[in-house]
Amino acid sequence: MSDHEEEKPEKEDSLEEEGSSSEEDGTDSEFDESDSEFDDPEGFVDDITDEELLGDLLKDKPMIETGFESVIVVDNAPKVGPERIERLKTVLNKVFGRFGTIVYQHYPVDEKNMFKGYFFLEFKKPEEAVNAVKTGNGYKLDKSHIFTVYFFSDFDKYKNLPKKFEPPKKTEFKEFGNVRSWLLDENCYDQSVVQYKEGSTVAVCQNTPHEIKIVTEREHWTETYLRWSPQGSYLATLHKRGVALWGGPNFERTGKFEQMNVQYIDFSPCEKYLVTFSNTVDDPNDPQNIIVWDTRTGARKRSFKREKSEEWPILKWSHDGKYFGRMTENLLSIYETPSFGLLDKKSMIIKGIRDFSWSPRDYNLAYWVPEHGQIPAKIIVLEMPSRNELSTKSRHLVSEFKLHWHKQGDFLAVRVDHFLNKSRKQLCYSLDIFHMREPLIPVDTIEIKEPVVAFALEPQGSKLAVIHGEPPLRIHTTFYQINKGGKPTQIKTLEILENTAVNNIFWSPSGQFVVLANLKGPESGHLEFWDTGSMTLMNSSQHQQASDLEWDPSGRYVVTSVSVWKQKMDTGFCMWSFQGRSLYRSPPSLDKFCQHQWRPRPPTLLAEEHLKLIKKDQKKYSHMFEQRDRTSKSKASKELLEKRKKMMSQYKEYRRKAEQEARKTKKMLIEDGVDVGEEGQAELDYEEETLYILVNETKETVNNNE
């Protein structure tokens, strides 16, 4: 035995002896098997999984990385020689660099230094690689080269496929319901969304003739505001972590889009894409705060960084969502979907561009540039995607242009603020009207001697309304008829006095009827309902302090509202007919009202000739609608009578039970010897007490110096 072994402590020797004896006996000195309370019964089978026991802990279990989660492979790139490889790398890095930070890249070449047409990219984060695969796959570089993108780890996955095929498990389909179910209502009632209680409660309502009917109501549905999609299929709510979409008869969540602190959202007209904007940047190395999403899959299609000079909406869409444009300093970039690449792979260099706007019906785009030296200011209309100039209008001494398209794309109205002479002291005003449906697109000009407060084109017609003058002294409203092949003619000028001044024009979606309103200043709330077919004032009314006005999609109703976001008192909304007759006001239950938004309707599926036939036979249908209205009124009266009858029945039943209880009480008092008197009232002794209740408490600070 060595010296080291001899010097072991006695206590340690004793522990070893105890341990050896325990091992020989097959028992534990401290926990004897015979006395243990932790044994499983005989035949016990443990069928509880780790996920059930430790589900909250296993989700944070560290994963073993293979090292290739951030690596992707891109195929079908152009095969070029060594003299063009560097230029191609620049283009490819620009395409895939928007998905994240590229930390490594490899472009294989053959023995002649010819690029093989595929390359490898490694991103900083696996999430960036996932985004690159989802969005980059199918990217069209040109007509002959459409990228195929996949993960590098897919090689091992497909290499080690099992010999025996096992069919994949069916994914349970989640049915959200018909996102346009409200259109099936037999009475064609429109829906709206109302936000109240200072934004904490949201209700989707149905606009019945005599009152508003709540379809669904939820608390804390949104954290800021909400918005309908352009065709009414989805309701978007904003939250701290992103945006959620809701649809179907029960308004189930159909999608969510994660971006912190979203401030603004916008939809493409086709509802396929959603644009979100946030000042908060998730990744400082990739400061993209404008994101375009696919509304159906939730995929992130493209991201942009906002420039300081850009104003919302930053991305402007064509009428069908096929193209969208973005204006930066001296550049107008047009992108096409679904590739989300630049149209023709290049932006248009337009020095000094100030604004642009798409036609609501065609692939026509208008923009304007200011004067530069001796070069006059210009309004230019382009045809996309060819970029051919359809029309150009030049003007000198221009201060500003304001573009406004006709809803059907028939006209482009431009408000022109220009100076009278080179001294640039006196401003003049005019309206340029581009006739988009006529050959060579002629331009007519309406000279207006006074400042233009507001102007608007009739949606389904050819009239133009202009509010002009010097507020608050005296302003006027003038209506013009835009004639085909001729100059616009003045229909009528309305002189409006100071106490009834208006500053907003709201055309009915179906045209002909218009509301002139004052929605600014302390005297806001004045409303005038006009029929421009006969130029008659149907009604003039008042909604004190009204801050918003909105027509319903059919043009039958108008809502004026006072938001708690504008003032704290007398909030709510009022429903009007298109003739200006007050129908009802929001109920007291919708207190601390915030906003009211009509649910948009999708474009009609009827052809133009069918719509004309319906308008021609309108009298034939009017009797049916009048009868339905009378039935609705009688039904409402019948419901009211039934409600009153039910209340009376409940009262009689309550009174019968009370009288029965009173008779029992009287009988008991008589049996106890209590004199109930002639009128049946017990003569009991009462003690009068005075009770003092503190109603309120006021504290005042007394100035000792006074």
Q: What is the pLDDT, as a whole number, of residue 137?
A: 86
Please state, in angstroms and rounded to a whole number, the distance separating the CA atoms of residues 265 and 312: 9
Residue 127 maps to a domain:
yes
Q: Residue 43: which pLDDT band, with cuts at 50, 70 and 90?
A: low
Residue 95 maps to a domain:
yes
Instruction: Give me the CATH number covering residue 123.
Output: 3.30.70.330
* pLDDT exceeds cutoff 50 at 34: no
- Average pLDDT (657-678) is 81
- For residue 237, the cross-strand partners are 226, 244
Length of the chain: 706
* pLDDT exceeds cutoff 80 at 496: no
Place of tokens 């050896």: 20
Residue 426 maps to a domain:
no
| Weakest mean pLDDT among 99-108, 370-379, 576-585, 628-637 | 628-637
Residue 419 maps to a domain:
no
Q: What is the pLDDT, as a whole number, of residue 35?
A: 45
Q: What is the pLDDT, as a whole number, of residue 15?
A: 33
Q: Residue 679: which pLDDT band, with cuts at 50, 70 and 90?
A: low
Structural domain count of the chain = 1
Using the 8-state DSSP alphabet, how is residue 109 labeled? B
Residue 113 maps to a domain:
yes
- Average pLDDT (667-687) is 64
- Average pLDDT (43-69) is 59
* pLDDT exceeds cutoff 50 at 4: no
- Average pLDDT (129-140) is 85
Higher pLDDT, 544 or 619: 544
Place of tokens 């000792």: 704
Q: What is the pLDDT, as a whole number, of residue 279?
A: 86
Higher pLDDT, 580 or 39: 580
Please state, in angstroms and rounded to a whole number, the distance separating the CA atoms of residues 369 and 355: 8
- Average pLDDT (560-569) is 90
Q: Residue 33: which pLDDT band, with cuts at 50, 70 and 90?
A: very low
Q: Is 325 exposed, middle or buried (0-12, 13-18, 19+ CB in 10 A)?
A: buried
Q: Residue 391: which pLDDT band, with cuts at 50, 70 and 90?
A: very high
Share of the chain above pLDDT 90, in %: 48
Among residues 456, 447, 414, 441, the alpha carbon closest in space to that of 429 is found at 447
Higher pLDDT, 687 or 417: 417
Domain that holds residue 124: 71-159
Residue 408 maps to a domain:
no
Q: Residue 69: which pLDDT band, with cuts at 50, 70 and 90?
A: confident
pLDDT tens per residue across span 153-175: 888 888 887 888 888 788 777 77
Q: Residue 523: which pLDDT band, with cuts at 50, 70 and 90?
A: confident
Q: What are the φ and ψ backbone dihedral angles of 639, each rounded to 5 degrees? A: -65, -40
Q: What are the φ and ψ backbone dihedral angles of 317, each rounded to 5 degrees? A: -100, 150
Q: What is the pLDDT, as a whole number, of residue 699?
A: 62
Place of tokens 């294989």: 108
What contacts 100, CB < 8 A, 6 or more positions away? Answer: 123, 124, 125, 127, 128, 129, 131, 132, 283, 286
Residue 64 maps to a domain:
no
Residue 117 maps to a domain:
yes
Q: What is the pLDDT, as a whole number, of residue 281?
A: 72
By the 8 A CB rule, do 415 and 452 touch?
yes
Among residues 229, 228, 225, the alpha carbon closest in space to that of 269 is found at 229
By the 8 A CB rule, do 80 and 112 touch?
no
The average confidence (pLDDT) of the chain is 84
Mark 228-254 as b/e (b = at least 16 C-beta within 10 Å): bbbbbbbbbbbbeebbbbbbbeebeeb
pLDDT tens per residue across span 278-302: 987 766 656 678 999 999 989 889 8
